[in-house]
Amino acid sequence: MKQSIFNLDTRTVVAIGIGAALYGLLNWVSIPVAPQTGLRPAIAILTVFGALFGPIVGFLSGAIGHIVFDLSSGTIWWSWVLGSAISGLGMGLVFMSKSFSIKEGRATGGNIATLAIVGSLALIVGFGISSVLDIYLFGEAPDKMLLQFIAASLSNITVHVILGVGAVLGLLKMNRSNSNLKVSK
Amino acid sequence: MSKAGMLYIERDTLFHRLDGAVKLIMLLAWTVIVFLFQDIRVFIVLFIIGLVLLMSAQLPWKRIRLLVWVIIVFNIFNSIFTILVSPAYGSEVNGTTTVLIDLGYEVLTLETVFYILTLSMKYMSLMPISILFVYTTHPTRFAGSLNRLGVPYKIAYAFNIAFRYIPDLKKDFISISHAMQARGVGLARGEGTLIQRMKHFAAIAIPLVQSSLARIDTVANAMDLRGFGKNAKRTWYSSSPWGRADIGIVIVCVIVLAVSITVRVQGFGTFWYPFNS
Amino acid sequence: MAESILSFNQFSFQYSSLAEPTLHDICLDIYPGEKILIAGPSGSGKSTLAHCINGLIPFAHKGKISGDYTLKGCCPAEQSIFEISRSVGTILQDQDSQFIGLTVDEDVAFAFENDCVAPEEMKPRVARALSMVDMQEHMNQSPHELSGGQKQRVSLAGVMSMEVDILLFDEPLANLDPASGKHAMKLIDDIHRDSGKTVIIIEHRIEDVLEQPIDRIVVMAEGRIVAVGTPDEILSSNVMQENGLREPLYISALKYAGCGLTPDAQPSSLEKLSDNEQVRRALGEWIEVSDNSPHEHEPVPLAELQDVRFAYGEGTEVIKGVSLKIGAGERIALLGNNGAGKTTLSQLLTGMVTPTSGDILLNGESIRQWSIRRLGEQIGYVMQNPNHMITQTMIRDEVGLALRIQGVPQAEITAKVEEVLRICGLYSYRDWPVSALSYGQKKRVTIASIMVTEPKLIIVDEPTAGQDFKHYTQFMDFLSRLAERGVSLLFITHDMHLALEYTERAAVLCNGEIIASGSTASVLTDTEIMKRANLKETSLSMLSRSTAVATPEALVRHFIQYEKRKKQVSEHE
Ligand SMILES: Nc1ncnc2c1ncn2[C@@H]1O[C@H](COP(=O)(O)OP(=O)(O)OP(=O)(O)O)[C@@H](O)[C@H]1O
Ligand SMILES: Nc1ncnc2c1ncn2[C@@H]1O[C@H](COP(=O)(O)OP(=O)(O)OP(=O)(O)O)[C@@H](O)[C@H]1O
Ligand SMILES: [Mg+2]
Ligand SMILES: [Mg+2]
């Protein structure tokens, strides 16, 4: 049985906190592929935590993780905090499906496709909103933002699909083998 | 990076004594004001005020210089990138064109150069206050401050957990990577193709995530056993009542914010270009 | 007798992911103010029982419950975990996870905050709790700046400040050095006496727990309670031995010597026993059997540290000029107090950190420029915390990882992996995921994963933490056999008897300096050294002193050889 996503029990609070810590920490890692953009493995944390704990945890660990990262690097970029949060929320949507439960090792092919596609869309929408906000709040040049946005989206989606969805598949497999265990002689 | 990944430096100044919530209000008001305007004069004033405040907090330059450099380098790259992609954007904004160099695919205009200066100054004017906040607020006060500003305490507490576990995770990351290398997994720095590097990264990150997931359960158990979440409210060990300085600063923030919004609504503060004829 | 505070009646529990119950037919009554020790082999269900008491079962771990369990006359499963937490205060097995606050004082205050105590009122209460465990000057420190022992004290302060009736400790001594362990037990005893709370302790280090008075011992095996009784009753029977547990050493010695122990002789008190004339005589006769002293010869050096110094970042020096030789085929114990730098020293040896000055030689060659990977082929390191080493999901894959990377053929990998799994007592779990194992079992997985790579030097950080006697004897014996084939072994341990039994040489580290190095038996009888490094005499040497039948060295040596012969005999059968 799954609990309601709005029920913030202790486990959920801890999941948000630890998800945020992982996201914040891994944000320091970036494998450069183009100027000002890199493959950010941290994105995969949003995939995993969203899929495991749902949209609320995805949203909040994205937001808090981003703020925590920014706090240790000097300036809080509110627009990008929102982008991370929305991406996390999108990754969590698949959690609402009845046939999907990582804890019990259950998922249909459709669930995985949903995770990959909805997650990618969430990355586009989330960081799209960040880019638009940068144009309005900071007065950044739209052409430049568009270029940056496309490069970032491509690399984020790559990480999400390969690393993030890959990790979710791994967890599913692990939890499937984690039931009905017997001591064999 | 000492305490829990945040950069707190112990001192006894007005800023250190202010309540975290007050500093957060100040940071938010400051950020909103910066967002409202696009006028380099405003940013220069803010930047100077910020620097004065930063001085008053007596933070050692040695410790903050890295962050200052990060922001400066960011500005340089951002400017270069903007010039390359949109060399005539300033003219678009201002409606005039003063050609400086012909880049072939586009012309670079004086308006753009001034626009870039304004944009850089905008980013710079956020720097002192952010640094001030980051270095004078102890992470233990952060969650309590958020709760005081109306954020539900469970969400505020998630910040505490994040601060608590970042140093642990950092240590785990290093241990796991060492353990893997000792057993023969090659993880040479900066070598190999992109795919190989992603693979190596995943080889460390996956166990890290797995152990973190296991940790969620044990930490939640420990918190449950000590009564987390049993009441609709909770108190904070590190919080203290607001003093006169705290209240004074909140009032100043509200007034300045109100004035800024009024001025902006009247039409002042859009892109300012001094060479308009 | 008074009304029981905790009562189990034909209670069983099955984790939802397992096919069979973990606890069977538990019948147990615990009365207010009692002090109970729960002992049992690793994986016998002790922590599971503890989780039933504190409400984590059924509130956090799901599974099937049958039978009755009442706490203060009510059925806890019908309450909430918060109501239970008003009666039961728990110290969990995992120290790092239960440190919740960002700083020491905040962690102690955590329960008060949840109870909405006003900050002004909280401060003096926190200060009082911290002064009780002697941690006031560390008030503002973060958990990663504390040693294991210090963290343990903070947890104690945390639960002590809660007003509960029952205190539950799950392995409070694991990772503590002997002196700190003794201190912790004393602290628990003081609380018990002053407040009259019911205390339940789960621990593998039975001898250390029994240094303070205990009312009853509960022995568990395979999910059942196999014996309940006063320490005198349990110790005079053979129930511990039969279930693969280590009795207090002096008790074993007396049993080997053929003294029939009865509860009337009060075997739980070493003093009482040593005054017993019959005991002295039997012991004296047993030890008469002569034995040969170990022959010493200078082995070929394998690794050598030369005046090594090291500091983490800009911090103070942690290793202050250490010189140490490790010979081929030598078995060495590295001893020392919590925070002395033992783990750091092994990280230096394995290239995980580089010395700030000094040099480390392997076969006469400096390893400064070597990569961790290259060193890993020669030096195998089993880390203190198994969770830092485990990277694969399945046990089989984890143990075979290094072989797979080397490109060993699959059939050979399978054979080798199964062989070491057998040695480590994990063969019947070979197809399990690592995540379903208890802490002690995980540690054995990491030992197995290093054994398969056949390095020249194996370093094991805390081999016995969370292990029961039977299992550690198994893999320690195997490791010792490797030493006969020329593999060097370095054991980092807080268990003095383990050092005596399995090593010829010991080095004592104290605050970053080697303060003693020599034959294990001589180092461990030097009281001055022991005191400085927070070590403790074993009860065997105490027995020899108080009965005056032999020197401590002679008794210890005789005891070890006797056990070795006994083992050989039982292997032949
Ligand atoms: N969360 C869990 N899910 C499934 N099985 C579990 C869980 N926790 C423990 N077990 C199983 O229950 C058995 C008993 O575990 P438990 O932790 O109670 O042992 P223990 O006596 O405390 O051992 P140790 O001394 O090593 O801590 C083990 O075989 C383990 O596989
Ligand atoms: N990563 C680190 N950064 C800073 N200081 C550290 C770090 N790791 C250990 N220390 C400090 O170095 C000292 C030695 O630590 P080490 O872990 O080597 O001790 P130990 O002898 O293994 O102790 P224990 O018996 O508790 O395991 C301690 O004072 C500890 O606080
Ligand atoms: Mg246990
Ligand atoms: Mg250690």
3-state secondary structure string, chain B?
CCHHHCCCCCCCCHHHHCCHHHHHHHHHHHHHHHHHCCCHHHHHHHHHHHHHHHHHCCCCHHHHHHHHHHHHHHHHHHHHHHHHHCCCHHHHHHCCCCEEEECCCCEEEHHHHHHHHHHHHHHHHHHHHHHHHHHHCCHHHHHHHHHHCCCCHHHHHHHHHHHHHHHHHHHHHHHHHHHHHHCCCCCCCCCCCHHHHHHHHHHHHHHHHHHHHHHHHHHHHHHHHCCCCCCCCCCCCCCCCCCHHHHHHHHHHHHHHHHHHHHHHCCCCCCCCCCCC
Q: Do A185 and C393 touch (CB under 8 A)?
A: no
Mean pLDDT of C44-63: 90
Q: Identify the pLDDT of residue C126.
A: 93
Same domain for B93 and B48: yes
Q: Identify the pLDDT of residue B1.
A: 38
Instruction: Work out the mean pLDDT of chain C and round it to a whole number.
Output: 87
Same domain for B254 and B131: yes
pLDDT over threshold 80, residue B93: yes
Q: Do B237 and C109 touch (CB under 8 A)?
A: yes
Least confident of A166-170, C59-63, C450-454, C464-468: C464-468
Q: Do B168 and C115 touch (CB under 8 A)?
A: no
Q: Identify the pLDDT of residue C554.
A: 84
Q: Does A34 touch chain B (CB under 8 A)?
A: no
pLDDT over threshold 50, residue B4: no
Please report where in the chains the tokens 């239970």 appear, as a residue. Answer: C84
Q: Is residue B214 part of a domain?
A: yes
- Find, among B235, B227, B154, the residue nearest to C83 by Cα: B227
- Tell how far the Cα of A21 is from the centroid of ligand 3, in angstroms: 28
Ligand nearest to the CA of C465: 1
- Find, among A13, B234, B219, B226, the residue nearest to C84 by Cα: B226
pLDDT over threshold 80, residue C255: yes
SS3 C26: strand
Per residue in B203-229, pLDDT (tens digit) is: 788 888 888 988 898 899 999 988 898
- Tell how far the Cα of C338 is from the centroid of ligand 2, in angstroms: 8
Q: Identify the pLDDT of residue C413.
A: 93
- Tell how far the Cα of C497 is from the centroid of ligand 2, in angstroms: 24
Determine the Cα–Cα distance for residues C514 and A102; give it in Å rounded to an integer. Answer: 50
- Tell how far the Cα of C339 is from the centroid of ligand 4, in angstroms: 7
- State the pLDDT confidence band at C289, using cuts at 50, 70 and 90: low
Ligand nearest to the CA of C149: 2
Please report where in the chains the tokens 């405003």 appear, as a residue. Answer: B42
| Exposure class string for C250-280: b at 16+ Cβ within 10 A, else e | bbbbbbbbebebebebbbbebeebbebeebb
- Closest CB to A72 among B5, B27, B223: B5
Contact C267/C230 with Cβ under 8 angstroms?
no
pLDDT over threshold 90, residue C412: yes
Higher pLDDT residue, A121 or A185? A121
| Count of domains observed in chain B | 2
Percent of chain C with pLDDT over 90: 38
Same domain for B252 and B204: no
Nearest chain C residue to A182, by CA: C19
Q: Identify the pLDDT of residue A156.
A: 94
Same domain for B79 and B155: no
pLDDT over threshold 70, residue B192: no
Q: How far is C372 from chain B (nearest CA, A)?
A: 5
Report chain B's C-alpha Rg in angstroms: 24
Contacts of C406 in chain B (CB under 8 A): 184
Per residue in C428-457, pLDDT (tens digit) is: 888 888 877 877 788 889 989 998 988 999
Mutate-to-test residue for ligand 1 from C48, C431, C471, highest number of ligand atoms within 8 A of CB: C48
- Tell how far the Cα of A53 is from the centroid of ligand 3, in angstroms: 27
Q: Identify the pLDDT of residue B187.
A: 57
Q: Is residue B276 part of a domain?
A: no
DSSP-assigned beta bridge partners for residue C327: C301
Same domain for B120 and B251: yes
Contact B36/A99 with Cβ under 8 angstroms?
no
pLDDT over threshold 70, residue C3: yes
The kind and range of the H/E element at C309 are strand C301-311
Per residue in B247-270, pLDDT (tens digit) is: 999 999 999 999 999 999 998 888
Q: In the structure encoding, which two tokens stand for residue B249, read together?
A: 């600063």
Contacts of A76 in chain B (CB under 8 A): 27, 31, 130
Per residue in C97-115, pLDDT (tens digit) is: 788 998 999 999 999 999 9
Q: Identify the pLDDT of residue A2.
A: 47
Contact C565/C299 with Cβ under 8 angstroms?
no
Q: In the structure encoding, which two tokens stand for residue B166, read together?
A: 């970042």
Q: Is residue C205 in contact with ligand 1, taking CB distance under 6 Å? A: no
- Closest CB to B181 among C59, C110, C372: C372
Residues with CB under 5 A from ligand 3 (ion): C 47
Contacts of A163 in chain B (CB under 8 A): 198, 202, 205
Mean pLDDT of A127-141: 92
Test the C interface: residue of B8, B174, B183 with most C CBs within 10 Å = B183
- Tell how far the Cα of A30 is from the centroid of ligand 1, in angstroms: 39
Nearest chain B residue to A18, by CA: B162
Mutate-to-test residue for ligand 2 from C318, C352, C510, C514, highest number of ligand atoms within 8 A of CB: C318
Q: Identify the pLDDT of residue A119.
A: 95
Domain boundaries, chain A: 10-176
- Closest CB to B225 among C90, C102, C393: C90
Instruction: Work out the mean pLDDT of chain B and round it to a whole number.
Output: 87
Please report where in the chains the tokens 């240094």 appear, as a residue. Answer: C211
Q: Identify the pLDDT of residue C300.
A: 82
Mutate-to-test residue for ligand 2 from C312, C345, C346, C508, highest number of ligand atoms within 8 A of CB: C312
Q: How far is C317 from chain A (nearest CA, A)?
A: 27
SS3 C305: strand
Residue owning the nearest CA to atom 18 of ligand 1: C45
Q: Do C142 and B4 touch (CB under 8 A)?
A: yes
- State the pLDDT confidence band at B242, using cuts at 50, 70 and 90: confident
Contacts of A36 in chain B (CB under 8 A): 77-78, 81
Total length of chain B: 277
Instruction: Please count the other Cβ atoms lying within 10 Å of the Cβ belonging to residue C481.
Output: 11
Least confident of A148-157, C113-122, C176-185, C500-509: C176-185
Test the B interface: residue of C47, C96, C113 with most B CBs within 10 Å = C113
Mean pLDDT of B79-105: 88
Q: Which domain holds residue B29?
A: 11-136+244-269
DSSP-assigned beta bridge partners for residue C310: C319
Same domain for B108 and B144: no
- Tell how far the Cα of C235 is from the centroid of ligand 1, in angstroms: 26
Per residue in A28-59, pLDDT (tens digit) is: 888 777 666 788 889 999 999 999 999 999 99
Measured CA angle at B144 (ends B142, B150), to 5 deg:
110
Least confident of B30-34, B157-161, C143-147: C143-147
Q: Identify the pLDDT of residue C159.
A: 83
**ipTM topping 0.95:** no
- Tell how far the Cα of C202 is from the centroid of ligand 3, in angstroms: 8
Q: Identify the pLDDT of residue A7.
A: 66
Q: Is residue B93 part of a domain?
A: yes
Per residue in C134-184, pLDDT (tens digit) is: 888 888 888 887 877 788 888 888 887 788 899 999 988 877 888 888 888
Q: In the structure encoding, which two tokens stand for residue B104, read together?
A: 């072939």
Q: In the structure encoding, which two tokens stand for residue C32, read together?
A: 């207010």
Total length of chain C: 573
Interface chains of chain C (3 or more CB pairs under 8 Å)? A, B
Q: Do B183 and C142 touch (CB under 8 A)?
A: no
Residue owning the nearest CA to atom 17 of ligand 2: C343
Q: Is residue C13 in contact with ligand 1, taking CB distance under 6 Å? A: no
- Closest CB to A18 among B6, B35, B161: B161
Same domain for B253 and B129: yes
- State the pLDDT confidence band at B44, using cuts at 50, 70 and 90: very high
Q: Identify the pLDDT of residue A1.
A: 39
Q: Do C428 and A181 touch (CB under 8 A)?
A: no
Determine the Cα–Cα distance for residues A66 and A53; give it in Å rounded to an integer. Answer: 18
Q: In the structure encoding, which two tokens stand for residue A3, read together?
A: 């609990």
Q: What residues flank ligand 2, with Cβ below 6 Å?
A: C 147-148, 312, 315, 318, 336, 338-344, 384
Contacts of B229 in chain C (CB under 8 A): 82, 114
Test the A interface: residue of B79, B151, B163 with most A CBs within 10 Å = B163
Tell whether pTM > 0.90.
Answer: no
Residue owning the nearest CA to atom 5 of ligand 2: C312
Measured CA angle at C20 (ends C15, C22), to 5 deg:
55
Q: Does B193 touch chain C (CB under 8 A)?
A: no
Least confident of A127-136, C430-439, C556-565: C430-439
Contact C20/A182 with Cβ under 8 angstroms?
yes
Residue owning the nearest CA to atom 7 of ligand 1: C436
Per residue in A92-119, pLDDT (tens digit) is: 999 999 899 888 888 899 999 999 999 9
Whether the upstream peptide bond of residue C299 has omega within 30° of 0, thus cis, is no
Domains with residue ranges and CATH for chain C: 6-240 (3.40.50.300), 248-289+539-573 (no CATH), 301-538 (3.40.50.300)
Per residue in C197-243, pLDDT (tens digit) is: 999 999 988 999 999 999 999 999 999 999 999 999 999 999 998 99
Q: In the structure encoding, which two tokens stand for residue C90, read together?
A: 């728990």
Mean pLDDT of C528-539: 88
Least confident of C213-217, C370-374, C396-400, C439-443: C439-443
Q: Identify the pLDDT of residue B14.
A: 84
Class of domain A10-176: mainly alpha
Mutate-to-test residue for ligand 2 from C147, C385, C492, highest number of ligand atoms within 8 A of CB: C147
Same domain for B144 and B127: no
Q: Is residue B5 part of a domain?
A: no
Q: Which atom of ligand 1 is nearest to the CA of C50?
A: 18
